[in-house]
Amino acid sequence: MEAASLRDAGLGQGGTGEGEPGGVVRPVNGNGSAPGTPERTGWRRIFRDAVRGPAWSWRSREADAGDPRLRDTVPPDKATRMFGYIVAVIVAAVASVVPAFVSWSYGHATASAWVIAGLALVVDLAPFRAPGRGAAATVFPSITFTFALLVGWGLVPAVVVQTLAVVVSSVRLRHAGWRGLFNAAQYALSFAAAAGVLKLMRVPPLSPDAHIGVTGVIGLLLAAVVWFAVNDILVTTAVWLRFAGGWRQTFTDTFRQEALSTLALLALGPIVVASGNVSPVLVPLMLVPLFTVNELARYTERERRRSARDDLTGLPNRRALFREMRSQARAYEQRRSRIPGDKRRMALLLLDIDQFRHVNDALGHAVGDRLLGAVAARLTESIGSDGMVARLGGDEFAVLAPRLADTSAANVLAERVADALAEPVTLDGLPLDVAAAIGVAIHPDHGTDHPTLLRRAEVAMYDAKHRAATYAIYSPESDHSSPERLELLAELRRALDLARPDEIQLYYQPQVDMATGEVVGVEALLRWHHPHRGLISPSHLITVAEHTAVMRRLTSRVLEDAIGQLAKWKAQGLMLRASVNVSVRDMQRPEFVDQLANMLADRGVSANQVQLEITEGALMADPRRVLVTLHRLDTLGVALSLDDFGTGYSSLQHLRRLPLAEVKIDRSFVLGMTTDPDDAAVVGSIIDLARALGLRVVAEGVEDDKTRRMLIEGGCEVAQGWYYARPMPADDLFAWLLRYQPPGRP
């Protein structure tokens, strides 16, 4: 589809439309006017170019998602208030410093003062970034030296030198003239306020013979805080007038970004003066801590960016996607409060690559990784500046488009993504299909928070898969899960994110050798203690999660906790085997075996201490793919157990090809074997079959001594159930083992 058609569909060209924060960039002529508007000349054009230049920001603060075109510009509809505010700040600054200029003596500047002033001008040639939650803000280190001039020589030299530093940085960074005037005025007011605090606290100039006590130190710190507060309020108001939104939120964001770095620079000011009082030669040494602060800020920002990136593709990861969704949702609410009936929308597209596992199975993970990189490049090129492409993990990708003109534009975007993946990716001369089913959820129509949007985009994606469609927009009719179930899934995601040990935890039920009565292992059973719903049934929990991406995270959490507990028991001298249930989705993941091996190696746990339980249904869902995974697990040394045996449709021929160590008789047969001859016959047949195949037999649901005796007589080897012990937390199990006495032999 041509770019013009996409623009007509309402997909913006990146950034924020001028005069339309958070909206769509509208087509403009080369002169910046709407199509068909004649070019204006003379002073009006000069004013228009000042108001609507290519970019704008305050002291390099990227207040509107970092769009460089908005620097040094003010939309025409905001120009009156904006420039009125700037003039008011300039007038107030002049009025606050004129009395000081009138009364100041020009004869007491020392060599140290001149060195400090020179350094203030030099250091602003290379400002540094202060890391923050949003776009990084620029911090100008000249404030260290000009604050030193304030506390050492008074308001006038501080204001004069800071104004010159603003001129230097404005020329260096090519800021607009009116912007430089505002910056100089904001600093002048900040210094005037700080000077007022010093005067009120009776803090004398930091001359060589000055005596500064505790009160003086408090006064210096308070002056620095007031300086920052006044400066931040002035800049916040300017940003608020330019970009609208909430003033309090803007102030909070600015405070989080700049408070630590700015206050640290200001606190160095008195130390600079103290160094100068000893010798002017010592003053340049203050460049060392400034360099350290700069490097620390760069390192922190670099790590912050790395934590939001996917290592394989370089795309934003899940965390970055959620952060952007929250930010865009706030912007939407602010825009809706200003523009009732606004039709603009945000869309979340979720997709995973069809048959990607076949690529890993046939060609190896290295080729699979290259394929994911190629898909990421195609998606990024397709979306461009119209949104964000993120990798959620595995073969799952997401596209966030925050600037749709209306809901119909989501169809255009989905078609664009589908077109980008339509052609095969050629790797090493081999064409590989990368088709994907795409699910689309739209904010606020389908949800106003990121968990809901992600959940409903996933529902739409599976709807598209079911209908063999290229994409599907979320529809309540296609959502076969109840709202309660969807809400529970979102709450499970949050519980996994928070990782509270008292909410999602494992209980352990002993498995007893029926011949000796000794405990030979435990089964790890998942328990979710919901903070409001109470204990969630394990079967209900699995039903909610098993067909979603959450199941992968849930299995990883269970394995990590179980293996970690085995390591703790090992350190206490207790060697047990733990059985863990896994799902069909886990068996179909090529990376599952490698992840398990890494967990075992990291914890120092032997593979033979872990046993995985799979159901007959998991085996029959995709026998060929599951069989490959089972053989890899067997090679690793992890034992395999067929759970709930007797309830599925496994053939004997199929069972013979599986590397199983044991079968577990379903509790429904065990519970009824003392009263129902048919159940007893089924149990006996399973025991005979398993023994013929060389498999260990475990009976679940042993709740009385009569059942135990019948199982022993039938040749069953291991049992678990309430007759021995109920599932219990790990600490309780350890205490139970200390007092456990094997039951009497028959």
Here the CATH number for the domain that contains residue 255 is 1.10.1760.20
Query: Is residue 611 domain-shared with residue 546, that is, in the same domain?
Result: yes
| Residues sharing a CB contact under 8 Å with residue 406, sequence separation 6 or more, in sequence order | 10, 343, 344, 345
Residue 297 belongs to some domain of the structure: no
CA 52 – CA 58 distance, rounded (Å): 15
Nearest CA to 589 out of 557, 560, 569, 618 is that of 618
Query: Is residue 462 domain-shared with residue 520, that is, in the same domain?
Result: no
Query: Is residue 449 domain-shared with residue 531, that is, in the same domain?
Result: no
User: What pTM was computed for the model?
Assistant: 0.45
Residue 512 belongs to some domain of the structure: yes
Question: Residue 70 carries which DSSP code?
Answer: G
Residue 340 belongs to some domain of the structure: yes
Q: Is 641 exposed, middle or buried (0-12, 13-18, 19+ CB in 10 A)?
A: buried
Query: Is residue 496 domain-shared with residue 644, that is, in the same domain?
Result: yes
The pLDDT, as a whole number, for residue 658 is: 82
The pLDDT, as a whole number, for residue 66 is: 40
Query: Is residue 111 domain-shared with residue 196, that is, in the same domain?
Result: yes
3 state SS of 535: strand
Residue 256 belongs to some domain of the structure: yes
Structure tokens at 23: 């909206």
Nearest CA to 456 out of 443, 474, 482, 472 is that of 474
Residue 639 belongs to some domain of the structure: yes
The pLDDT, as a whole number, for residue 46 is: 30
Query: Is residue 268 domain-shared with residue 341, that is, in the same domain?
Result: no
Report which secondary-structure segment, H or E, holds 180.
Answer: helix 177-200
CATH of the domain at 471: 3.30.70.270
Residue 501 belongs to some domain of the structure: yes
Query: Is residue 466 domain-shared with residue 527, that is, in the same domain?
Result: no
Region for 41 from its dihedrals, namely left if φ exceeds 0, alpha if ψ lies in -120 to 50, beta otherwise: beta
The pLDDT, as a whole number, for residue 60 is: 29
Split into its structural domains, the chain has a count of 3
Is residue 191 a contact partner of residue 244, using CB atoms and an 8 Å limit?
no
3 state SS of 254: helix
CA 181 – CA 58 distance, rounded (Å): 11
The pLDDT, as a whole number, for residue 449 is: 86
Among 448, 480, 512, residue at a domain's last position:
480
Q: Residue 620 is part of which domain span? A: 487-738
| Cα separation values, 145 from 150, 180, 217, Å | 9, 19, 18
Among 461, 480, 499, residue at a domain's last position:
480
Query: Is residue 197 domain-shared with residue 87, that is, in the same domain?
Result: yes
Query: Is residue 363 domain-shared with residue 461, that is, in the same domain?
Result: yes
CA 477 – CA 628 distance, rounded (Å): 38
Query: Is residue 444 domain-shared with residue 519, that is, in the same domain?
Result: no
Q: Classify strands 662-665 and 639-645 as parallel, antiparallel or unpaired.
A: parallel
Place of tokens 């119909």: 408
CATH of the domain at 665: 3.20.20.450
Q: What is the block-wise mean pLDDT of the chain (746 residues), using blocks of 10 residues?
A: 31 34 32 35 32 28 39 73 90 90 73 89 73 54 90 91 89 82 92 92 85 87 92 85 70 72 85 87 83 74 76 88 86 74 85 82 86 90 86 90 83 89 86 86 87 88 83 78 74 84 89 92 92 83 78 90 94 92 83 93 94 78 77 92 69 72 90 91 91 90 92 94 93 90 68
Among 287, 307, 333, residue at a domain's last position:
287
Residue 68 belongs to some domain of the structure: no
pLDDT tens-digit readout, 358-391: 788 788 888 888 889 999 999 998 888 778 999 9
The pLDDT, as a whole number, for residue 245 is: 61
Residue 84 belongs to some domain of the structure: yes
Query: Is residue 553 domain-shared with residue 588, that is, in the same domain?
Result: yes
Query: Is residue 542 domain-shared with residue 664, that is, in the same domain?
Result: yes
pLDDT tens-digit readout, 257-306: 677 778 888 888 898 888 888 888 888 887 887 777 777 767 777 777 77
The pLDDT, as a whole number, for residue 746 is: 45
